[in-house]
Amino acid sequence: MSKNLKTSEYQNYEIFGEDDLYIIKDKVRKKYYKLDYSDVLSMGVIFKDREEKISNFNYIFFVCSIIALEIVNVLILFYSHEEVVGITRDDFIKYLLIYFPFFIYFHELGHITFFKYFGRRVDKIGFKLNYIFPSFYVRMNDTYMLSKKEKIVVHLGGIFFSLILNNIMFTLGVCLKCTILIYLAKYMAIDILYNSIPLMNSDGYKVIIATRGVLEAKSFNENSMLVKVIKLCNIIFVILYTVWFIFNI
């Protein structure tokens, strides 16, 4: 339990505080605002301590499990076996179109599972363009009302579920000597690694800003230097990728 976590219900508002950071949630408008400690004092809000819903041991075990699974994921990329031959491009695309939606569903289920475990509701599940790249997403605005550790677990939840699924697929492929399963696992291992890198609004990016205790603002200028640097890197990456794509069509 963290003694620095505080919560309060104030009319149509819910207030959450961790250390010196306070967030107020407007339950009617479903908007969130950052408060200074002086603002909280002026409101005369009475707080009560809130227990962190994940122990230090479970948190460390969870993070270590993901690191171990990520190492296995990298090894999958470098796996070389005589059985991994003889698959056509058309066959691979056909099976990928079947596996990929299930993979995405399982990934998002990871976020949702941990989010609900911490007592929060998902706002929306949808599809959007992440810069120029199409992506599915789960909108979880109530992460503002979670502690730093709880946020990290939620953001890592999708990667955790993806790693479990992909490792199972790879193991089955090797045991059954099924070429297509091995190829699919190797391909999705790249996707998992990419999502772990703190770029393009990835899970890795969300984990980094949660670890640093940084809140992302809509306005570029209102963001911290860390967020600004990452966003600039995103723009550079998109430009380079677009140029590469145009000249390689």
**pLDDT for residue 2 is more than 50:** no
**pLDDT for residue 115 is more than 50:** yes
pLDDT tens for 144-161 read 999 999 999 999 999 999
Confidence of residue 164 (pLDDT cuts 50, 70, 90): very high
pLDDT tens for 229-243 read 888 888 887 788 778
Confidence of residue 133 (pLDDT cuts 50, 70, 90): low
What gap in Å lies between CA 72 and CA 166, rounded to an integer? 10
Find the helix packing angle between 179-196 and 56-77, rounded to 10°.
130
**Residue 31: strand, helix, or coil:** strand
pTM for the whole structure: 0.87
Mean pLDDT of 181-191: 90
DSSP string, 168-213: HHHHHHHHHT-HHHHHHHHHHHHHHHHHHSS-TT-HHHHHHHHHTT
pLDDT at 3: 47
108 labelled catalytic: yes
pLDDT at 132: 63
pLDDT tens for 14-72 read 989 888 888 999 988 888 888 887 777 777 778 888 889 999 999 999 999 999 999 99
Lowest pLDDT segment from 137-151, 164-178, 179-193, 205-219: 205-219
**pLDDT for residue 249 is more than 60:** no
| CA end-to-end span of the chain | 55
Which residue among 14, 51, 70, 108 is the active-site one? 108
Strand 13-18 relative to strand 5-10: parallel, antiparallel, unpaired?
A: antiparallel
pLDDT tens for 56-106 read 999 999 999 999 999 999 999 888 655 555 677 788 889 989 999 899 999
Higher pLDDT, 25 or 218: 25
pLDDT at 63: 96
